[in-house]
Copies of this chain bind each other. A is one copy, B any other.
Amino acid sequence: MGRRPLLDRAGVLDAALALADESGLGAVTMHAVATRLGVTPMALYRHVGDKAALLDGLVERLLGEVELPPVELTWADRLVAMARDLRRTGHRHPAVFPLLLARPAATDEAARVRDAVLHTLAEMGMESEEVAQTERLVSTAVLGFTVSEVSGRFRNHPQSVIDADFERLLTLLRGFVEPPSPGSGPAAQFG
Residues of A within 8 A of B (CB): 98, 100-104, 106, 133, 136-137, 140-141, 143-145, 147-148, 151-156, 161, 164-165, 168-169, 172, 176, 179-180, 182, 185-187, 190
B180 & A154 in contact (Cβ 8 Å cutoff)? no
Quote the shortest CB–CB distance from A80 to chain B (angstroms).
16
Quote the shortest CB–CB distance from A158 to chain B (angstroms).
13
Q: Is the interface of A mostly helix, strand, loop or mixed?
A: helix
Q: Which residues from chain B contact A154 at a C-beta distance below 8 Å?
A: 104, 136
The residue that A141 contacts in the complex, of B101, B140, B147, B182, with Cβ under 8 A, is B140
Q: Which residues from chain B contact A152 at a C-beta distance below 8 Å?
A: 102-104
Q: Which residues from chain B contact A156 at a C-beta distance below 8 Å?
A: 104, 106
The residue that A133 contacts in the complex, of B106, B143, B164, with Cβ under 8 A, is B164
A sample of 11 cross-chain residue pairs with beta-carbon separation below 8 angstroms, ordered by A number, consists of A100-B153, A102-B152, A104-B152, A104-B153, A133-B168, A136-B165, A137-B172, A143-B148, A144-B148, A180-B186, A185-B187
Residue of B nearest to A169 (CB): B137
A148 & B101 in contact (Cβ 8 Å cutoff)? yes
Quote the shortest CB–CB distance from A184 to chain B (angstroms).
12
A158 to B189, CA, bound (A): 42
15 more contacts with CB within 8 A, not counting A98-B98, A144-B144, are A98-B102, A101-B144, A103-B151, A103-B152, A103-B153, A104-B154, A133-B165, A140-B144, A140-B145, A140-B148, A141-B141, A144-B147, A144-B148, A180-B186, A187-B187
